[in-house]
Chain A
Amino acid sequence: MGTAAAALSEMVQEDISLSVPALSFFSKVNVARYIAEKSHDQMTGVSQSFNGLISGDAILLFPEQNSLEIVRLLLKESVPLEVLSEMEQEAFSEIGNILLNAGLSSLANFLQTDLTSGLPVYLTGSSLDIMNRATIIGNESSVVLFVRVDFGIATHAIGGYVVYMMNINSINELTKNVDIYLRGLNLT
């Protein structure tokens, strides 16, 4: 996350901080419910496929208002439109690409393996809608890895989420490695 923050900072000449306050395994439906409880109906997302020891789709989700705020702050637009223009969608996709690649690097380091990634795809809709529209590979399992992300630009703090949707084998592989890690820490 530090590398991602540094990359974004340099791009936009602003102090940017990224932190991951929470990470857990959830069902897809519960993720949607959790996000809906925060009154976030319309979401903006960036989805990226990943392949390797584990495969699936990583989806960055922000409440629509937050995505407008991020783009406005990073592009220093003085009068934001109510929806993102095409150029702004592309910029948001790049921001998502940087964050998701950073997350995948962390996962790859944890699993001590390589994970390749595809190009980001821009999506809008409810969180369940976006998760359902991810590629078929990631739709087999109803369990997802759910990560909360806090994005700080100058004095603004903006919250978002990353959801990793994987096939059954990948979920099993990941949970197996998490168990090994926790046993190593004597936490199970």
Chain B
Amino acid sequence: MKIAITTADSQHLAMDTGLQTDLLDNIEAGIIVLDAAVTILGWNHWMTQHTGLLKPVVLNRSFLDVFQNITTQRISQCITTCLRFGHSAILSTALNPFPLPLFEPKRLAQSPNAPGERIHQSITIKPLLDSKGIRHCVLQILDVTPAYQRERLLREQSEKANTSRIEAEKASKIKSEFTSMVSHELRTPLTAIQGALKLISGGVITDAPETIASLLDIAYRNTDRLLLLINDLLDVHKIEAGKFHYDYRRCEMLELLKQALSANKPYADKYAVHFVLSPLACSAVVDIDLNRIQQVVTNLLSNAAKFSPPASDIIIDCQVRNTDLVVSISDKGTGVPLEFRERIFERFAQADASNTRRSGGTGLGLCISREIITQHRGKMWFESEPGHGASFYFSLPLAAVNLD
């Protein structure tokens, strides 16, 4: 076969077969030439390197015989269309993963039976005419594995950068909300304390001991509120700094719950609700930091009381489930709004601003409580439907003595 090459001054030079073969074998791409019957007429060294198939083995054989299982694939359809209508086609690596069984040459040479994964391929199919004008087609195949891997890496890095940016924006928003919340929550009780004490010290109130007592009570309750906020902030700070220490002791959970209900009764009275220990609550021993778990129970009881209608019951239960003790606190309040569910355990999360104003709270209680339970190798979760109350649960591993 001879190919005519035209020089600048129109002299035709014939390239001999050896040079043609050498040319094709030095191209850094796979070249396959097919006739109208899809018989392989041309096959270069790149193809041998990437398939392990020698030229004499494949020449004059059907392409569909050499590469079986591709008759229903796009590459086969493109070859047919090219030979019939002269349409060129491209098979991108993204839409056609590994159309042909081609492998990395070194791995194929070392392990012909286990050459690893196929290379990523980019294939073009173009019509060719021979000297008689009969249509053939040529497939050119490129190994695009390095480019593919580079792009995947770039995409992953881009996604990570995007995630970091979103998290940074979220953190910035939380900090900003925190600053706003802290300013309000600190200012409000301080204003009340200042106002009450100013009246007393200014001698405005002279002969009304009940009024003085009431003002002092206002001042006291607000210092209490301030202390709670400061304590919560310190707890969060210790958690973040890894300095939140636990003093584990063996405790009987039912007894702890009874003590917590008793200690928090004034809270129930304040909101006119009833804390009720379930008659089915069972007893079990756990290894816990007593003060921290009481902190958790207090937090859950106070939340339930705040969001419950007056005269309603808040049920506290305690059950053994497999090797865990599960405590639940269920109220009949407004329930957890759908839009708040995802972030209820996050720092400074509040259902909305109006609830903060009405119900008080720092937005840190549930975050701290969950951290305490997690450190005790337990879990905290909730179930709620808006308008139908909420049940908060936490689990703690049973002490070994229960399991004997």
Contacts and interface: CB of A to CB of B under 8 A. Distances in A.
Interface string B91-118: 1111110000000000000000000000
A87 B92 contact: yes
A75 B147 CA distance: 17
B151 A86 contact: yes
B159 A79 contact: yes
Given A86-B151, A90-B93, A90-B122, A119 B88 contact: yes
B77 interface: yes
A118 B92 contact: no
A74 B87 CA distance: 23
Contacts of A85: 151, 154-155
Q: In this complex, which of A95, A114, A117, A120 has the most chain B Cβ atoms within 10 angstroms of its Cβ?
A: A117
Nearest to B122: A90
B126 interface: yes
A91 B90 CA distance: 9
Nearest to B163: A79
A86 to B, nearest CB: 7
Contacts of B77: 7
Q: In this complex, which of B87, B96, B124, B126 has the most chain A Cβ atoms within 10 angstroms of its Cβ?
A: B87
A101 to B, nearest CB: 5
Nearest to A119: B88
Interface in A5-59: 7, 10-12, 48
Given A11-B95, A11-B96, A119-B124, A87 B148 contact: yes
23 contacts: A7-B74, A7-B77, A11-B96, A48-B88, A75-B94, A79-B159, A79-B162, A81-B155, A81-B158, A87-B93, A87-B144, A87-B151, A91-B94, A94-B95, A97-B90, A101-B89, A108-B85, A114-B85, A115-B85, A116-B86, A116-B127, A119-B88, A119-B90
Contacts of A116: 85-88, 127
Interface string A100-135: 010011001000001111111000000000000000
A88 interface: yes
B86 to A, nearest CB: 3
Give the dominant DSSP class at A's interface. Answer: helix
A117 B87 contact: yes
Interface residues of B, number: 28
Give the dominant DSSP class at B's interface. Answer: mixed
A92 to B, nearest CB: 8
B88 A117 contact: yes
A90 B155 contact: no
B92 A104 contact: no
B314 to A, nearest CB: 44
A93 interface: yes
The 6 closest A-B pairs by CB, nearest first: A116-B86, A91-B94, A90-B92, A94-B92, A91-B92, A101-B87
B81 A101 contact: yes
A120 B90 contact: yes
Contacts of B151: 85-87
Contact of A93 (B86, B92, B96, B144): B92
Contacts of A117: 86-88
Contacts of B127: 116
Contacts of B88: 48, 97, 116-120
A87 B89 contact: no
Q: In this complex, which of B95, B96, B144, B159 has the most chain A Cβ atoms within 10 angstroms of its Cβ?
A: B95
